[in-house]
Amino acid sequence: MAEHDGSSSAEKLTFLLIGAGIGATLALLFAPKTGRELRGNIADYTRRGMDAANEGARRVGERAGEIYDSSREKVTDAYSSARDRVSHGAETISEVAARQKEQIAAAIEAGKQAYREEKRKSGEVGRAAVEGEEA
């Protein structure tokens, strides 16, 4: 089996507190005291253990809050940056589309003009042919 060498400080502290609690309880049970004294001592050690656990939980909660706040800032910054990039991209696409629209409109107008010109020339050629046959 591989040993877990990467134990965190919190795990080590937890094991230390558990071991200390067990040791203290055993010491109290085997100490020559009256039942009332023994129960009082056990209650005191239990309260101390609960206080230590509550303090540890408070510290963990504070650290979790700090991590949450830091993460929230990073996510907000990333979202803002992505939103700005998308907005800039949309503006660029709109500009390109407007230019393409103008070019297409100009091409259509040029096509219409060429058609009218060819139609006019065809009309002149047709009239000249008709006039030439009449003469």
Give a yes or no: residue 2 inside a domain. Answer: no
Least confidently predicted of 3-7, 42-46, 64-68, 123-127? 3-7
Give a yes or no: residue 21 inside a domain. Answer: yes
Give a yes or no: residue 5 inside a domain. Answer: no
Domain count, the chain: 1
User: Considering the chain, what is the average pLDDT of its residues?
Assistant: 82
Give a yes or no: residue 3 inside a domain. Answer: no
Query: What is the rounded CA–CA span in Å between residue 11 and residue 76?
Result: 33
Query: What is the rounded CA–CA span in Å between residue 5 and residue 96?
Result: 59
User: Would the pTM of this model clear 0.95, i.e. be above it?
Assistant: no
Give a yes or no: residue 49 inside a domain. Answer: yes
**131 confidence band (pLDDT: 50, 70, 90):** low
Domain containing 109 equals 10-134
- For 44-94, write each residue's pLDDT tens digit: 888 998 898 889 889 988 999 899 998 899 899 889 998 999 888 888 888
Helix H, strand E, coil C: the string for 12-69 is HHHHHHHHHHHHHHHHHHHCCCCHHHHHHHHHHHHHHHHHHHHHHHHHHHHHHHHHHH
> Would the CA dihedral through 7, 10, 16, 18 be positive or negative?
negative
What tokens were used for 30?
């085997």
